[in-house]
Amino acid sequence: MNIYQTIRLSLLGALLIALASCGSDKRQPGRTFVPDMAYSQAYETYTKNPAFGKDSLSGVDSFSARLPVAGTIPRGLLPELSDSATDQELASYLYKRNYPNDSLNYANAGANVKNPFQPTKEVLERGKHIYTIHCIVCHGEKGAGDGSIVQSGAYPQVVSYADRLPTITEGQMFHTITYGKGLMGSYSAALTAEDRWKVILFIEQLAAVGPFAKGAATTAAAPADTTTTAAPSN
């Protein structure tokens, strides 16, 4: 058999295979020569996957969906703070590690954790945006505790910011928004630390406390008034 015959035979073979793999029914794919490629072996996200069975490093978790490596930080979780950022400023970004959810840490946060943001126009606009999406249904447009689900009767009374906020610190507000309190849920998954601080500035504005308290911006004008200097310190 010379080279031309070999080529002719293999061409004929290829043609036969090509013809045999097509069916007359256009809705059928015909014969599949490499089925693993046509029908890949996909695993559902939360089903058991033999690749991560009991021999896996964890020894327990065999889900197809793998957990992120321990210590993974989601993009955007940590802010672009300058090198001069204080530990106190950074504390709120790793808040849950520094302040577990108990009443002692509610008090500690109240004393130590401070808002790293200033109430600029952009910050307050962002705070209002978040408030409108996440908080207004309960707390109401002006923070009086008369949001639509309270008015509908589906939800019991919610505290008014004007009553409650003057009695707590911004650190305690941060603690509550992070972990939830009473009937209010946690917002640590829905809101970044930055957004939690921004919404705090917005509700402080609603209740006229913190930087919005009467006389807060004009401390220089009231040096003789001892009561105004005592108020913001804790």
Give the interface with ligand HEC as residue ranges (CB under 6 A): 134-135, 137-139, 158-159, 164, 168, 172-173, 176-177, 181-184, 187, 199, 203
Task: Report in angstroms how near the CB of residue 181 gets to ligand HEC at its nearest.
Answer: 5
Ramachandran area for residue 59 (φ above 0: left; ψ -120 to 50: alpha; else beta):
left
Cα separation, 185 vs 114, in Å, equals: 22
Q: Let me know if 1 is exposed, middle or buried by CB neighbors in 10 A (0-12, 13-18, 19+).
A: exposed
Asked whether 14 and 33 are in contact (CB, 8 A), the reply is no
Encoding tokens for residue 62? 């065999």
Nearer Cβ to ligand HEC (71/182): 182
Nearer Cβ to ligand HEC (5/152): 152
Nearer Cβ to ligand HEC (61/232): 232
Task: Report in angstroms how near the CB of residue 215 gets to ligand HEC at its nearest.
Answer: 22
Task: Report in angstroms how near the CB of residue 133 gets to ligand HEC at its nearest.
Answer: 8
Nearer Cβ to ligand HEC (91/206): 206
Nearer Cβ to ligand HEC (168/216): 168
Nearer Cβ to ligand HEC (129/181): 181
CA angle 59, 63, 67 (to 5 degrees): 80
Task: Report in angstroms how near the CB of residue 34 gets to ligand HEC at its nearest.
Answer: 53
Alpha carbon 232 to its chain's center: 30
Residue nearest to ligand HEC as judged by C-beta position: 182
Task: Report in angstroms how near the CB of residue 111 gets to ligand HEC at its nearest.
Answer: 14
56-59 long-range contacts, Cβ below 8 Å, gap at least 24? none
Residues 6+ apart with CB under 8 A from 131: 139, 199, 202, 203
Strand intervals (E) in 37-161: none
Q: Which of 163, 149, 157 is nearest to 203 (CA)?
A: 163
Task: Report in angstroms how near the CB of residue 48 gets to ligand HEC at its nearest.
Answer: 37
